[in-house]
Structure 1
Amino acid sequence: MRHDPFKPAKRVAGQRKDVWSIVNEAAEQGKVTPMVNMGQGFFGYNPPNFVLDAARDALSRVECNQYSPTKGRPRLKKAIADAYKPFFDYPLDPDKNVTITTGANEGMLSAFMGFIEPGDEVIVFEPFFDQYISNIEMPGGKVVYVPLHPPENGATQTTSAGDWKLNMRELEAAINDKTRMIVINSPHNPVGKVFTKDELQAIGNLCVKHNIIILSDEVYDRLYYVPFTRIGNLSPEIARLTLTVGSGGKNFYATGWRVGWLIGPEHLITYVSAAHTRICFSSVSPLQEATAVAFEQADAHGFWDQSKKEMQAKVKRFNEIWDELGLPYSDPEGGYFVLANLAKVKLPEDYEFPPHVASRPRDFKLSWFLIKEMGIAAIPPTEFFTEKNAHLVEDWLRFAVCKDDKVLDTAKERLRGLKKYIQ
């Protein structure tokens, strides 16, 4: 019997509707307009002028509108090596230690494709960026989950994102002979946790002991509000195992540019580059060139300190509404996401939710209710957990604060409508 030619592969078949589709489609059909979209982590404003000017200039140059070398444009690799040299104890060679990818996500896929064979295991912390999972499974890897434990009093009082803790005994118990890689995200999405030096040292020591590759997702590495440690800089032994992931989109308010990179020792970068070549060959030339100029000029414009200061002010500005409503939240140590706990919010018992929302945990219902009744889109974080541990965050919602202050103020005004539902 012939196979059905239209039967989809298992990796895409039978998937339930993803959170991005649910939230964005609901937002497009919301009753309250204009919608305040604090769901996806895209910026509500443009990159600074010196970055935009670099892009305009690159688009006018013939060589910047043609293929780039598969490992990235030389100018961008050098700019990244120069920018990151102060953060690493080992010298960064642009040709040996840096590779450019089509966004950080494709860079991580390239890392998995470069090292994961069918049956290999990759440890991921819950909550996780959902793209990790499919990226690991595509080359045949198995995801092993280890949860970050939320603070016990997170439903009753505001806590620090740093209070989400990793149990090292649970982590070590998850390691076996099949463990090939571990994924770390700091500053963390969606929690906002910045892993401490001691936490990273403990993780790094385990990886050295068991010879496990570390994929350190540091795309929010310029937005930290407490001391920030790079695991790849803790020791030569840990450095030889570590791939550090970065994002021009996150750094320069240009998530649509899809310019990412990986930094690491040559014996790892070589095979990430080889996989990247087979996935998409090369990345967008003019935007690579513009990102190079952005790095070259950022210090002269005082950009890094300014961006951190402005984002921290947005976090503080938005969180005033939770203090006003008496609803607890997780105060982020980095990044631009805020987790708010809405356990005190009682949804109307007769409220009708569509089947694809009614069948999901409570945070999906909270998200839907806020979209439809208040015109605010936020992400339900159970999407970033396994079903086993989803109960840990079913009363939370994730809000992206990387928006204009006027948008944040509108969101705060609309959220005051929750008062009548708070018990």
Structure 2
Amino acid sequence: MDAKFAPAKRVAGQKQDVWSIVNEAAAASPVQPIVNMGQGFFGYNPPQFIIDAAKSALDRVECNQYSPTKGRPRLKKAIADAYSPFFGRTLNPETEVTITTGANEGMLSAFMGFIEPGDEVIIFEPFFDQYLSNIEMPGGTIRYVPMHPPKDGAERTSSAANWTIDFDELERAFNEKTKMIVLNSPHNPVGKVLNKEELTRIGDLCLKHQVLILSDEVYDRLYYVPFTRMATLSPELAKITITVGSAGKNFYATGWRVGYLIGPPELIKYVAAAHTRICYSSVSPLQEAAAIGFEQADKVGFWDQQITEMKGKVDRFCEVFDELGLPYSIPEGGYFVLANLSKVKLPQGYEFPDHVKDRPRDFQMSWFLIMELGVAAIPPTEFYTDERAHLAEDWMRFAVCKNDDVLEDAKKRLRGLKKYMA
């Protein structure tokens, strides 16, 4: 290719991504139909009151035109009203809330709003893979800090709380170039909910080094242990924290791409400015539907109901690992389960395609599960640097946000692992 047409380095020379590998394997598998426990999209519709809100919005002229770039006033107010009790004060919907095209674009807007070339951003491994490109596009440099799996994770099931942060390692990651740290709680893929003590220690380091906090809380309505929000710990931390939320995650509508950020006016105005330059405004009728969702969710008991239902799905699905004697991390939040498959032995001489055979063991295991059992799951080393991929190569991520019959089918198929276990 002519040098003038060469792609930018940020997209050139990347390994084949995990999503295309899994989808390619699923299409080629002799076991059909595939039971998709991989990508974290829901296997069922949003509740009826949300669907009805979206349909009615389409009949309104103003809901089919551009929304204000910072978001529809009704949605901003609904979010401010819904979150004010958690923040312990009345949020101003005009200055402390902005709407984005999904949480991912919201995070990109936050990085674009504050990161300059040479600035450093700290993230924890494993990480949501979109963080990387979002940080690098404005010229940021990433500093990685691992969350360590439980030392006995291959032998026994335990809480996701046992994935731990070494705070000495974390403190060493800070320096004069550090501009921001990214937190994710409840965590994808681990399912860990950062407790108040952990958040306080992280917050103290950020105050000491004058570092902004981007708190990715997109699973903030799905927690099974006490959940603390970073921005609520102190007025000082509130001033440096941008909280990220997702209506798509909250209302089982990931394809709607309605996200939001909450923070102090002096931070939110720059995030909103970046969002304006990235995509101008977000989808109008779905913003209106999300607003109605927030207005009605408490009245219909939706938040409590979804916690009960999702925890039930976690428990129901994990029965198969208990049967097989395969350890797993019990999630404290979210809808992902990490299972340790070190006891499953891949057959000697099993043929993997070139783009899989040289990847860590979990990529091979993912391919094997799809081809032999017809179950798709995600290899978590995709969410690690090469240097630390060994920490996760025996684990596999399963998404349980599926219909119960799908979970039962997955369990039935996964019982086929028994013949491959030592």
Please indicate, yes or no, whether the TM-score normalized by the shorter chain is above 0.5. Answer: yes
Contact 2:117 2:139 in 1 (8 A): yes
Equivalent position amino acid for 2:312 in 1: A
Q: Which runs of 5+ in 1 are unaligned?
A: none
Q: TM-score, normalised by structure 2?
A: 0.99
Quote the residue 2:57 is aligned against: 58
Quote the residue 2:335 is aligned against: 336
Quote the residue 1:181 is aligned against: 180
Q: How far did residue 4 of structure 1 move?
A: 2.5
Q: Distance in 2 between matches of 1:274 and 1:168?
A: 34
Q: How far did residue 5 of structure 1 move?
A: 3.0
Bigger drift between 88-97 and 266-275 goes to 88-97
- Tell whether 2:69 aligns with 1:82: no
**Where in structure 1 do 4 or more consecutive aligned residues deviate above 6 Å?**
none
Q: Distance in 1 between matches of 2:85 and 2:421?
A: 49
Q: TM-score, normalised by structure 1?
A: 0.99
Equivalent position amino acid for 1:253 in 2: Y
Q: Distance in 1 between matches of 2:14 and 2:333?
A: 32
Q: Distance in 1 between matches of 2:92 and 2:23?
A: 42
Q: How far did residue 123 of structure 1 move?
A: 0.1
Q: Which runs of 5+ in 2 are unaligned?
A: none
Quote the residue 1:157 is aligned against: 156
- Tell whether 2:260 aligns with 1:261: yes
Q: Distance in 2 between matches of 1:379 and 1:144?
A: 24
- CA-to-aligned-CA distance 1:296-347 (integer Å, 9 cap, x gap): 0111110000000000000000000000000000110000000000000001
- Tell whether 2:361 aligns with 1:345: no
Equivalent position amino acid for 1:380 in 2: P
Q: Distance in 2 between matches of 1:360 and 1:295?
A: 43
- Tell whether 2:367 aligns with 1:368: yes
- Secondary structure of 1:85 counterpart: helix
The percent identity for this pair of structures is 73
Q: How far did residue 90 of structure 1 move?
A: 3.9
Equivalent position amino acid for 1:91 in 2: T
Q: How far did residue 26 of structure 1 move?
A: 1.1
Q: How far did residue 25 of structure 1 move?
A: 1.6
Quote the residue 2:45 is aligned against: 46
Q: Distance in 2 between matches of 1:43 and 1:25?
A: 20
Q: Distance in 2 between matches of 1:295 and 1:58?
A: 15
- Tell whether 2:235 aligns with 1:236: yes
Quote the residue 1:147 is aligned against: 146
- Secondary structure of 2:387 counterpart: coil
Q: Distance in 2 between matches of 1:150 and 1:263?
A: 31
Q: Distance in 2 between matches of 1:289 and 1:333?
A: 31
Quote the residue 1:281 is aligned against: 280
Quote the residue 1:216 is aligned against: 215
Q: Distance in 2 between matches of 1:244 and 1:327?
A: 36
Q: How far did residue 351 of structure 1 move?
A: 0.8
Quote the residue 2:298 is aligned against: 299
Equivalent position amino acid for 1:56 in 2: K
Equivalent position amino acid for 1:370 in 2: L
Equivalent position amino acid for 2:35 in 1: V
Quote the residue 1:405 is aligned against: 404
Contact 2:38 2:397 in 1 (8 A): yes
- CA-to-aligned-CA distance 1:149-196 (integer Å, 9 cap, x gap): 110000111011000000111111100000000000000000000000
Q: How far did residue 31 of structure 1 move?
A: 1.0
Q: Distance in 2 between matches of 1:28 and 1:97?
A: 45
- Secondary structure of 1:388 counterpart: helix
Quote the residue 1:314 is aligned against: 313
Equivalent position amino acid for 1:92 in 2: L
Quote the residue 2:21 is aligned against: 22
Q: Distance in 2 between matches of 1:138 and 1:316?
A: 40
Q: How far did residue 29 of structure 1 move?
A: 2.0
Q: How far did residue 6 of structure 1 move?
A: 1.9
Contact 2:81 2:90 in 1 (8 A): no
Equivalent position amino acid for 1:222 in 2: R
Q: Distance in 1 between matches of 2:393 and 2:202?
A: 28
Q: Distance in 2 between matches of 1:41 and 1:407?
A: 14
Contact 2:178 2:211 in 1 (8 A): yes
- Secondary structure of 1:391 counterpart: helix
- Secondary structure of 1:389 counterpart: helix
- CA-to-aligned-CA distance 1:340-398 (integer Å, 9 cap, x gap): 00000001112100000001000000000000110000000000001111000101100
Between the two proteins, the alignment pairs up a number of residues equal to: 422
Quote the residue 1:357 is aligned against: 356
Q: Distance in 2 between matches of 1:121 and 1:215?
A: 13
- Tell whether 2:69 aligns with 1:70: yes
Q: How far did residue 24 of structure 1 move?
A: 1.3
Q: Distance in 2 between matches of 1:3 and 1:231?
A: 49
- CA-to-aligned-CA distance 1:274-300 (integer Å, 9 cap, x gap): 000000000000000000001101111
Equivalent position amino acid for 1:104 in 2: A
- CA-to-aligned-CA distance 1:182-215 (integer Å, 9 cap, x gap): 0000000000000000000000111111110000
Q: Distance in 2 between matches of 1:347 and 1:312?
A: 31
- Tell whether 2:226 aligns with 1:227: yes
- CA-to-aligned-CA distance 1:245-264 (integer Å, 9 cap, x gap): 00001000000000000000
Q: Distance in 2 between matches of 1:93 and 1:275?
A: 20
Equivalent position amino acid for 2:96 in 1: N
- CA-to-aligned-CA distance 1:96-115 (integer Å, 9 cap, x gap): 00000000000000000000
- CA-to-aligned-CA distance 1:11-64 (integer Å, 9 cap, x gap): 000001000110112112221111100110000000000000000000111100
Bigger drift between 187-196 and 18-27 goes to 18-27
- Secondary structure of 2:4 counterpart: coil
Q: How far did residue 3 of structure 1 move?
A: 6.0
- Tell whether 2:132 aligns with 1:128: no
Quote the residue 1:324 is aligned against: 323
